[in-house]
Amino acid sequence: MAVKGSSLGLAAVAEALGSSEQALRLIVSILMGYPFALFQRCFLFQKEVYLIHLYNTLTGLSIAYFNFGAQFFHSLLCVLIQFLILRLMGRTVTAVCTTFCFQMTYLMAGYYFTATEHYDIKWTMPHCVLTLKLIGLAIDYYDGGQVVEVLTPEQQRFAVRGVPTLLEVSGFSYFYGAFMVGPQFSMTDYQKLARGEMTDVPSQRPNSFVPALKRLTLGLIFLVIYTLLSPYVSDEYFLSDKFLEQSFWFRCFYMLVWGKVVLYKYVTCWLVTEGVCILIGLGYNGQDENGKPKWDACANMKVWLYETTPLFTGTIASFNINTNAWVARYIFKRLKFLGNKLLSQALALFFLAIWHGLHSGYLVCFQMELLIVIVEKQVVSLVRNSPALSTLASITVLKPVFYVLQQTNHWMFMGYSLVSFCLFTWDKWLKVYSSNACATERKAKESRVTARRLYRVCICHRGVWSPCLPSLLC
């Protein structure tokens, strides 16, 4: 429930833009990160850390209240309980397990009691981001109590050695640049930010205006593209009789284009919020081999790779990077004791599915992702190990043709798996999938019939007939 005071004006603006009021509030909220970041740069850089924690807490809470009204108490309650878990249970496995169970149960309960058949922007949207943040904090706090020798270099980097205060945990949780849609970042990076250490020039404000402006501009470009194209490729069209009456190849092409466009709304939000993180310094990631500062610590998108990769694994590596890195760090790698990489990967994807929501479509989508990745790796391995196929793939003239075919196949399967992700409930995504399956079967039957007829014509023309050969085509 949003704040009602400004609801009338925002509703009118949203209607004029052809958007929902909640979507407009979301865009306003992530754009407000820029003036918030400018204020912090100008007046709070290297000030007392408690002032920075207080500022981040108040701005984050104001964003939560602006979007969801009194329902902001859900996040506040979970932050307070998380602080108590850290203080009362300490650096123990019990604290980690309690955190995981409580935070995930609270999120699942939120999904259950607010569930609808459509995607709604409600308090559970930022809460799923907060859930990962608090679980990661508990694990890093546990690692901070272990001897260095038993930790991996990655775990050593993120381990929280000190005891966070309530204000510190609140500032970390409500940081305005990542509260609504991410990205994920660690408590250790946040502590460096509060101390003024996330900068390319020691003891000075980061030179991050230009990198931040580039990400903001890129995000706005994707916003314009999505705004212009989304009315022509809607989710609702999948369920219409008109879609079911279309040809098989039209439906495949529609899924391809729709899948490409529908993801741009996520790309927009992540690029804009990344710009906020860069502007304040949280995006600083050291220097490259040439001594130039890198600002990709909070990058959730590798735009060039995302737009050009012909592989499904390339899309995974370039899309929602920080969330994928979080799952790899805190779920996948922590399941190493199972001794089975495929099982660990399946459990990590299962966690991602239920973290997104309780609808069956999420489970189906991530199951498809796992299967597609497995098949893709096998195909790539087959081509590399086959001299004939490797030679064919290396022919310069044919490379553009292969690239177009790969991209088409890649985005068709991407759109196909996203159908269940976006339609949520089994009755909706099953209707779309079953219609395509029936169309595929009809096409296959038609192809077999045509092949048999052509075969008979060829055999009869030669004056030869073998009754066993045509059966191979049945």
Positive or negative: CA dihedral 305, 310, 316, 319: positive
**Residue 359 catalytic?**
no
DSSP for 296-351 reads -TT--B-HHHHHH--SHHHHHHHBSHHHHHHHIIIIIGGGGGG--HHHHHHHHHHH
**Residue 356 catalytic?**
yes
- Which two three-digit tokens encode residue 232? 């022509």
- Do 392 and 330 form a contact (C-beta atoms < 8 A)? no
Q: What is the dihedral of CA 288, 290, 292, 296, to 10 degrees?
A: -20
Angle in degrees, 0-180, between the axes of helices 166-174 and 73-89, rounded to the nearest 10: 140
CB atoms within 10 A of CB 245: 10
Measure Cα distances from 236 to 48, 64, 254 in Å.
52, 30, 13
Helix, coil or strand: residue 363: helix
Catalytic one of 320, 322, 359, 410: 320
Please tell me the distance from the alpha carbon of residue 460 to that of residue 381, in angstroms, as a whole number. Answer: 42
Please tell me the distance from the alpha carbon of residue 199 to that of residue 285, in angstroms, as a whole number. Answer: 9
Q: What is the dihedral of CA 226, 230, 231, 237, to 10 degrees?
A: 180
Q: Give the side-chain half-sphere CA count within 13 A for 275.
A: 24
- Do 110 and 63 form a contact (C-beta atoms < 8 A)? no
Catalytic one of 207, 285, 356, 409: 356
Positive or negative: CA dihedral 293, 298, 304, 309: positive
Please tell me the distance from the alpha carbon of residue 258 to that of residue 466, in angstroms, as a whole number. Answer: 48
Tally of residues, the chain:
474
- Do 346 and 370 form a contact (C-beta atoms < 8 A)? yes
Which residues are catalytically annotated?
320, 356
